Amino acid sequence: MDDSNTIRRSAEIFLKQGGHEVLLADDGFDALAKVNDYQPQLIFCDILMPKLDGYQTCAIIKRNARFADTPVVMLSSKDGVFDKARGRMVGCQEYLTKPFTKDQLLQAVQQFGNSQQGAM
């Protein structure tokens, strides 16, 4: 079992080392507020979050016309076909399985992000 806070901090460090601005959210509601306030170019969304899980958070983001085109990359310790399909159903563009590497994160930013800003 991994420590989500450690994973989050690692992702933050990897992204900052890659030259990206990073915002962290404590839970799904905090993530929605930050997406609304800061309008990130790319969103990394952990499936295991308090209050709203990653699937619910992604679905709410994608239902908002302002953010429907904002790429969402799911982060999960599960890599089953069902989990990935569920991620696609709620609108995520990519699904990274934990533990992920710095290269995987930066590749996702390069593939989906179109500026120097990302959020988690």
* 46: CB partners within 8 A, 6+ apart: 4, 7, 8, 54, 74, 75, 76, 120
119: in domain:
no
Range of the domain at 45: 5-110
The pLDDT tens digits for 17-29 are 999 999 999 899 9
Mean pLDDT for 60-86 is: 92
Task: Find the CATH number of the domain harbouring 41.
Answer: 3.40.50.2300
The pLDDT tens digits for 76-118 are 888 888 989 999 999 999 999 988 899 999 999 999 876 444 4
26: in domain:
yes
118: in domain:
no
Give the pLDDT of residue 120.
Answer: 52
Tell me the whole-structure pTM to 2 decimals. Answer: 0.87
Is 36's pLDDT higher than 90?
yes
115: in domain:
no
DSSP state letter for 93: S
Our count of domains for the chain comes to 1
